[in-house]
A and B are shown apart, each in its own frame.
Chain A
């Protein structure tokens, strides 16, 4: 843990280029987003509104800063709170829909958010997006902002961890297994599902705000359908049953994605191939790689020793 944290802090000193830092920032944001998808998924729900919540948070914080001079520090908090509140309101209306139906409605929600951003052209910049989104006060150099993002990522991960290992996490996991039993012991399943959706969305909103302020620019298609799907892929590839799964998946795929950017047109193909391989060969994700590897080695050794005994 400490070693990884130290490495993340030292990396900008080794890779001094702004591009390398940017990749790492995107990586941190993708980690938050992938964990947010998993938090919602813990309760058995599958949302495709992750990107929409990021757009919401990103635009809200950016617009407040540009038009009303609100400090981005406060903007981060407002973005997170707004995503939470909107998600809860949305959840109250639609959380009774199960599985695929809920996912479809979250997809419509994404369309609505995008349309609103496109339509309020004079306010949001329409299809061209927003430029010159200010940095938070006191942040003069990009390296400093890098460490701010690192700090936000670490705090978010800590919160994800605490949530998952608390009563809430237990209830969410229970709901994903059998809702009727949860109800029969007095758990208000509907409220809890709304809460899971709200809490997950909160972090997506925060991540969106971080991205907007760091990049200084936002456009309505930045966190569209493709981005949302990638967030799900990060989780699945890393391993959806383990806390470190989405962290691992987001890190590996974000870095691989950037190493392969010379072949940008093949990116979707690459993602699809990785996803298929994982789903068919290691359903437990990258997290399961060590145990799977050691099992293979053991089987190989057993076969060899068996052959030796025969010979």
Chain B
């Protein structure tokens, strides 16, 4: 379900055309059943798109979704302690497919060196990390707020709403389920126009910025500190435009169908502290960890809050991938956040300096995200921390890389990202959501032209599909 590829749109538009054809017939013959037809239509649309990815992906999704629903239904027969006890059984069952596909190899062969061949090269079903977390949240929210079990059809639409199933946003019951219960296909011009501007912004982020930046990302040098920083910069920008682009397209698609999804990014690189960065980066995942892990552990008001923060960030790192590098990435951000919380009240930095330090920390940490080879990662971290690695010959080498046609084009794209960052920052400064200016009609038109002209020739899969 790659929004940046033509087959997705071909399948989507064909399926929508078929649905509308049948809908016309249903509205004529069974007008009272139109609501049910629409909800079934949405469900089938999601399944068709998931089947187009692969039947295994669809099957595992159904397994987790149906298992969660009936597990919750069974759990609702109990009260009090028994319910809590069985909840502790249901959640691991929900997480089991995720653990098997994503972590079995790392734990069995990487950590315990068991050499289990069947765990190697397991293909991770697309979206499993996202929809599993959404379903865990659904179970907890239903029980915690004493909510009734929704109708199976509405639940399936909530669990498998196609724009957000493979890479989020991870939606909550209270936000998405009521919209699914009221869902009906209708072409509202306002929704379509708003949705189109989100889609255009997302496609510009993905096809024009992320895909072009990807072709200049070269993580080869392990000794030249300048080149390592350049790789960190390019990766950090790429992953933002890639993932934010996906999320914006998801919001746009949903909006066209009359559904509002949560904004998953809010210009994270305009943050002036790490705490703010995590309020702006992958917002729905951060909120998930806050509500279902950090607060149950005691949050920030207990004596062991440092442990809580560190644990949450390490688990967040591991969520992104099974590897020591992801663990280190999470731990590094945990440490930055602890420092931010400890020093924040006493040290008042000018906003610009705060922004600079935040950007420096975030881009430094990206190294741990993209460098999966532990030996190389440690060598690069050592190079970044060694003053000698910042010598003149290394600088000359880095500059010589820029003084090529490719280097010039890369600088042009970096300038374009700077312009988009300024637009985001201006939106926030004037009290709008960060992507407000991109969605102005004439700017959206400009983005369409830029995407059509500048889109990279080589398409890359969305990075977060791997998670």
The answer to whether A and B belong to the same complex is no
A residues with a Cβ closer than 8 A to B are none
B residues with a Cβ closer than 8 A to A are none
